[in-house]
Structure 1
Amino acid sequence: MIMAEEITGGCQCGAVRYRVETELDNPHLCHCRMCQKAAGNYFMPLAGAAREAVMVTRGDPGWFHSSDIVRRGFCRDCGTPLFFDPVDSGHMLVTLGSLDDPSRYKPVSEDSVESRVPFVAEWTGVRQKVSENDFTGEELKAIRDSNHQHPDHDTDDWPPA
């Protein structure tokens, strides 16, 4: 596919850069608690492409398995979240804010709206998706049972034994 404009992005400090060699699909805002924590924000804007179309062109991102079925790529130097990678999928997502031109992709849906914080308004004109409608019960259970993120409260020890 020939694109009019190259799709590139990277982290805040420039240590990690990437290129996507096809148009991104399903630009959306994810409100799930894992994305909130990974972004340090109320939601994470994401869009995806076939895994082989997403290429790191500079540096080596760090990876954190937020669950056994998803890992998240970030810059080890500045902490910028860059990738959402379902490990058993041929699809990989990039964070829209890390694109060189984030205005290129307007979100078409809000996902995991059951976790949207109450003072963030619904985006009008986009689909409102609930996790239970987008994931199978088995996928939701796999995420819940293998959640590797810190709980939303202080703990004496981490990680748990």
Structure 2
Amino acid sequence: MTDGISGGCHCGAVSFRANGPMRDIIYCHCTQCRKQSGHFVAATSCADSELSIEGAEYLTWYAASAEAKRGFCRTCGAALFWKRNESGRTSIMAGSFDIPSGLKASHHIFVADKGDYYEIADRLPQYPAGEARL
């Protein structure tokens, strides 16, 4: 777990700081994440109370499913967040953090849904479905 990392979107309209402990990075290969990102998603999460957002007026949330929503910059389109409804945590896309982040990856989820154009070769644990969550 890592404390206190800043980040933001590509154009700079939305920036954030995650101040509390964050979970290790999870790689998600589900169809929704692939469609949203163009590949798989790498994300961590922190408690909502530990996430501060500047430029929230440029952040658009849309219902990705009945269970969750995704947040992106309405100016540049950068995918930034994923949030399960009624959850007290927000997942943050790892690529949106300033570097160095100090984060490390822990495992892959929804590998049964991964694209057929790549292999996973990093030796991290792999779960066919979502046994672990974003």
Which structure carries more relative contact order (alpha carbon 8 Å, separation 6+)? 2
TM range (shorter): 0.7 to 0.9
- 1:28 matched to 2:26? The reply is yes
**Aligned pairs (5 A) from 1:11-26:** 11-26=9-24
Cα distance 1:123–1:76, how it changes in 2: closer, same or farther (>3 A)? Answer: same
Partner residue in 2 for 1:116: 114
Higher normalized helix content (fraction of residues): 1
8 Å Cα contact 2:5/2:101 also seen in 1: no
Q: Which amino acid aligns with 2:51?
A: V
Report the alpha carbon displacement of residue 122 of structure 1 after superposing the two structures with TM: 1.2
8 Å Cα contact 2:15/2:55 also seen in 1: yes
Of 12-21 and 110-119, more deviation after overlay is shown by 110-119
Considering only CA atoms, is the larger Rg found in Structure 1 or Structure 2?
Answer: 1
Of 72-81 and 124-133, more deviation after overlay is shown by 124-133
**Aligned pairs (5 A) from 1:1-161:** 3=3, 6-39=4-37, 41-60=38-57, 61-101=59-99, 104-131=102-129, 133-134=131-132
Cα distance 1:106–1:53, how it changes in 2: closer, same or farther (>3 A)? Answer: same
8 Å Cα contact 1:96/1:102 also seen in 2: no
Matched residue count: 131
Alpha-carbon distance in structure 1 between the residues aligned to 2:19 and 2:65: 27
Q: Which amino acid aligns with 2:60?
A: G
- Structure 1 runs (4+) deviating above 4 angstroms are none
8 Å Cα contact 2:107/2:125 also seen in 1: yes
Higher normalized strand content (fraction of residues): 2
8 Å Cα contact 1:18/1:55 also seen in 2: yes
Report the alpha carbon displacement of residue 42 of structure 1 after superposing the two structures with TM: 1.7
Q: Which runs of 5+ in 1 are unaligned?
A: 136-161
Give the match's secondary structure for 1:34.
Answer: helix
Alignment RMSD, CA only? 2.0
TM-score scaled by length of structure 1: 0.74
